[in-house]
């Protein structure tokens, strides 16, 4: 997978830069989401692996995608086909989404709590995290009774463990030292 990720990076950057230039981020995101799903299809993958000509690959891909791709999207697919990179489209999508989130100063924060958070609690948490991270925050909340109380917050590389389970584990480690 890391090979495809490295292959996908320049394509994602080029698509992102073009989308920003054309003020069409959402349109490009929709096209890439659809194209990535097509590239994940087993029959399409088999075809791409066995039919070596770039023109055939691009034609099939464009026919399958149909109206989901605009002219620039079709050109993007043709360039990727010429370089035999269509199988990397899911990774191109992932890198494009990361570029878009950074550009829009947006971050998705994973929150795990012992009980479901109320809307008021979520709003308060979003406000506090938005201020601390200087980004728009989207919460992805989950419930795990093993947390016991409090919450575990993961935002990128940052982890805030305010859970009772975490405090008990730290106390046990301190007592054993």
Chain center to CA of 127: 23
When pLDDT is cut at 50, 70 and 90, the band that residue 19 belongs to is very high
Query: Domain 105-176 belongs to what topology?
Result: Glutaredoxin (3.40.30)
Residue with tokens 């026919």: 63
For 2-102, CATH number out of 1.20.120.1200, 1.10.520.20, 2.60.40.3500, 3.40.50.2000 equals 1.10.520.20
Residues 6+ apart with CB under 8 A from 98: 12
What is the distance in angstroms between the CA of the first residue and the CA of the last residue of the chain?
41
What secondary structure does DSSP assign to 93-134, as a single string? HHHHHHHHHHHTTEEEEEEEESSPPPHHHHHHHHHHHHHHHT
Q: What is the mean pLDDT of residues 125-147?
A: 90
At how many degrees (to 10) do helices 25-40 and 54-65 cross?
A: 110
pLDDT at residue number 1: 45
- CB neighbourhood size of 134 (10 A): 9
Q: Residue 86: which H helix or E strand, with range?
A: none
What pTM does this model have?
0.69
In the chain, domain spans: 2-102, 105-176
Q: Are strands 106-113 and 136-143 parallel, antiparallel or unpaired?
A: parallel
Residue with tokens 């269509």: 86
Q: 27 pLDDT exceeds 90?
A: yes
């Amino acid at each position: 997978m890391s090979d495809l990720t490295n292959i996908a990076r320049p394509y994602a950057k080029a698509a992102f830069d073009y989308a920003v230039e054309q003020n069409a981020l959402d349109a490009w995101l929709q096209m890439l989401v659809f194209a990535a799903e097509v590239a994940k299809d087993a029959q399409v993958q088999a075809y791409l692996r066995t039919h070596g000509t770039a023109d055939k690959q691009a034609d099939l891909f464009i026919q399958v995608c149909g109206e989901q791709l605009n002219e620039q999207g079709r050109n993007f697919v043709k360039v990727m086909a010429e370089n035999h990179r269509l199988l990397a489209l899911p990774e191109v999508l992932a890198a494009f989404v990361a570029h878009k989130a950074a550009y829009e100063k947006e971050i998705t924060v994973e929150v795990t709590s012992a009980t479901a958070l109320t809307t008021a609690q979520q709003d308060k948490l979003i406000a506090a995290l938005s201020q601390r991270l200087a980004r728009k925050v989207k919460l992805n909340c989950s419930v795990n009774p093993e947390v016991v109380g409090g919450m575990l917050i993961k935002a990128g590389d940052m982890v805030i463990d305010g859970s009772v389970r975490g405090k008990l584990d730290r106390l046990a480690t301190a007592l054993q030292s």
